[in-house]
Amino acid sequence: MTICAVALRRALEAVMEAKRHAPTSDALLADKTFPGTPEAVRLARCWAKEVFSLAGAEWADVCELLVSEVATNAIAHTDSPWFRVRILSSFHVEIWDASYELPQRRQTTPESEGGRGLELLDLLSPDYQVVLCGQGKKVCFQPQGWIEP
């Protein structure tokens, strides 16, 4: 395990312990900004998978997929020089970019290789939101099975 992974594990353990004592809190687990390049999507996906796995998330694969899809959209459909991923202790995820352009649903066919990111969000996190903010927009989601009472 790398030094970064050990430090991240300790930080996540501290957050999860604090959450046990204050279950209504929604503490920040992880926050990272990536360059607006296609290669950064893979880095974000791997980073998110590590965060979810270290935090004991049951649906780490689902969150990894959604992070990958939304980050890909931030790169492919905007001119944003960066995107930012924030993961909260409730496994609520926010992906920010510097564009004010809202995501658009694409027409797809069974043969289409892309264009299904919003469909996946609809299926796996039906309450997802797109919010315009000071520096652009953020796409917020929390997989359906993790919504806290």
Tokens 């694409």, located at residue: 106
Output the pLDDT for position 14.
Answer: 58
Q: Please give the Cα distance from 83 to 36 (Å, whole number).
A: 6
Q: How does pLDDT run across 83-130, given as a tens digit for each residue?
A: 999 999 888 999 999 999 998 877 766 776 666 778 889 889 989 999
Please spell the DSSP secondary structure of 29-60, one letter per residue: EEEEEEESSHHHHHHHHHHHHHHHHHTT-TTH
- What residue spans define the domains of the chain? 3-101+118-146
CB 34 within 8 A of CB 40: yes
Output the pLDDT for position 9.
Answer: 66
Q: How does pLDDT run across 8-38, given as a tens digit for each residue?
A: 666 666 555 555 554 456 889 999 999 999 9
Q: Please give the Cα distance from 133 to 128 (Å, whole number).
A: 16
Q: Which CATH architecture has domain 3-101+118-146?
A: 2-Layer Sandwich (3.30)
Q: How does pLDDT run across 46-78, given as a tens digit for each residue?
A: 999 999 888 877 778 888 999 999 999 999 889
